A and B are shown apart, each in its own frame.
Chain A
Amino acid sequence: MSAYRYPMPNPSEITSKENFLNRRSFMAGATGALAAPIFFSSAAQAATSLTTIPSKYSTKDEPNPLADITSYNNFYEFGTGKGDPAKNAGSLTTTPWTIETSGLINKPGTIDMEALMRKYPLEERIYRLRCVEAWSMVIPWVGIPLASVLKDLDVQGSAKYVAFETLKRPEEMPGQASVFGSLPWPYVEGLRLDEAMHPLTILAVGLYGEVLPNQNGAPVRLIVPWKYGFKSIKSIVSIKLTENEPPTTWNKAAANEYGFYSNVNPEVSHPRWSQASERVIGAGIFAKKRPTEPFNGYAEEVASLYEGMDLRKFF
């Protein structure tokens, strides 16, 4: 098996961004049946592109253009404005990168990013993303099922939760150095072990067939598509298996507004706004809102995880 070479040049040096700026018009412009092969083969020639396999878990919905996904971000480490991450995240050094693995596992240690991307097949997962702020996008992630990675860590029987931690590096993350809009750093998140092992849960390493842009949580982030976006922690440096429910950042900041579970639920309002519907990013200002679906439309796959739980109490 040939070794995966982690890309070193800047994406802008190799692939013109215009190719990806608007997938919709590109696809429309290309002739029907030929469109997909052309798209993937041309992308495959670029050094930043990733070889991916499709997944049955992808939604059929049309993904948002790359420009939306990379210019409209919540990543408070780089500022609280939606455009701040795109503006400020360029300073983040993502190579070399390792994830510390610890806690209730038989193989503690570190995972090297390059090794991670070599070891597991990369899948394209087109998922809906529902932000707690009542907007949504459709995003073609590239990722690895978290379950595959956890299995290789040899999780001990007593482990019940997985705790994640984002990089803390204020010299490269201006939002961590700022007093205003600040959260306790580093950003921490957690999942119940069965949620973490669910096949929909992935560690994303790419977007639109290329390595993850910094503003989207490079080089590796969690994606849990049935939960509000803030659960999908970015730029992960630590994964720890625990027996007790780990603390989570937004829950620490405002426990009455952000629960540990934070499953997308149109019936449980955020105390300050309704979650019944969502603004579809890219649909235009006059578009009708999309009614929010329980578990963000993934109820069939995940509702059984919460059987017998009062989801108003465990919001």
Chain B
Amino acid sequence: MAQSKLLTAPPKWVIYCVAISPAAYYLERAITNNLGPDPLATLENALGEWALILLIIGLMITPIMRFARINLIKYRRPIGLAAFTFVLLHLTVYVVLDRQLNLWEIWIDILKRPYITIGVAAFLMLLPMAITSNNRSIRKLGAESWRKLHKLVYPAVILGAAHYVLLEKTWQLEPILYLTAMIGLVAIRQVWARRKRKT
């Protein structure tokens, strides 16, 4: 049975705008000083968490296609780019407001604080993906190498969630749920790949 046309009726840019709308909410609250007693931590954490949420949604598109037979593939790019927008905002808040452009301190953070090291590594994996998230890049790289490059998302999401787990003082439920979700979504692809090789 063909899926309803309604599901893929909204244009991609609408999905992108909806996906990044929480950023507008948080930025508005930041500018009007409405983020509670510790606005910097609130903003930094919220932006990071939305990046993780959107990465999960992006990684769910293929499983939804396989299990529910609903094809939302046209929305994977705007969702991925929205996730990267949050990563970029999260990083900007860290560099500009948290570390206040002190490059030496940032360098020490990267060298000495594992959760920062991991976070930066995840960012560096997502960066080439974001840059090549357009049709011209697919043509230029060729579909096969483009696809290979975009497999970077798997280690990136696991590192992104680990980044969250490691910054808490104790083992907390929420970051562990994110990490579990990421590992699950990556593992399911390994299972598919193994099955494909067997047949």
Most-contacted residue by chain A among B30, B37, B176 (CB, 10 A): B37
Q: How far is the CB of A259 from chain B (nearest CB, A)?
A: 15
A154 vs B171: C-alpha distance when bound (angstroms):
42
Q: CB of A71 within 8 A of chain B?
A: yes
How many residues on chain A are close to B (CB under 8 Å)? 30
Q: Which residues of A contact B39 (CB under 8 A)?
A: 284-285
B167 close to A285 (CB less than 8 A): no
Closest chain B residue to A74, Cβ basis: B169
B115 close to A279 (CB less than 8 A): no
B33 close to A72 (CB less than 8 A): no
Q: How far is the CB of A258 from chain B (nearest CB, A)?
A: 9
Which residues of A approach B to under 8 Å, CB–CB?
64, 67-68, 71-72, 76, 80, 82, 133, 135, 180-183, 253-254, 269, 271-274, 276, 279, 281-282, 284-286, 288-289
Our pick among A72, A76, A183, A288 for the contact of B100 (Cβ within 8 Å) is A288
How many residues on chain B are close to A (CB under 8 Å)? 28
Closest chain B residue to A273, Cβ basis: B113
Q: How many A-B residue pairs have CB under 8 A?
A: 63
B38 close to A183 (CB less than 8 A): no
Supposing A180-B172, A253-B170, A272-B167 touch, asked if A282 and B112 sit within 8 A by C-beta, the answer is no
Q: Which residues of A contact B172 (CB under 8 A)?
A: 80, 180-181
Q: How far is the CB of A309 from chain B (nearest CB, A)?
A: 24
Q: CB of B89 within 8 A of chain A?
A: no
A274 vs B109: C-alpha distance when bound (angstroms):
8
B176 close to A180 (CB less than 8 A): yes
A285 vs B171: C-alpha distance when bound (angstroms):
28
The contact sample of 6 A-B pairs, CB cut-off 8 A, is: A68-B37, A82-B37, A82-B38, A181-B172, A253-B170, A272-B167
Q: Which residues of A contact B173 (CB under 8 A)?
A: 180-181
A44 vs B115: C-alpha distance when bound (angstroms):
49
Our pick among A183, A253, A274, A281 for the contact of B108 (Cβ within 8 Å) is A274
Our pick among B36, B40, B43, B166 for the contact of A71 (Cβ within 8 Å) is B36
Q: Which residues of A contact B168 (CB under 8 A)?
A: 80, 181
Q: Which residues of B contact A133 (CB under 8 A)?
A: 169
Q: Which residues of B contact A76 (CB under 8 A)?
A: 170
Q: Which residues of B contact A274 (CB under 8 A)?
A: 105, 108-109
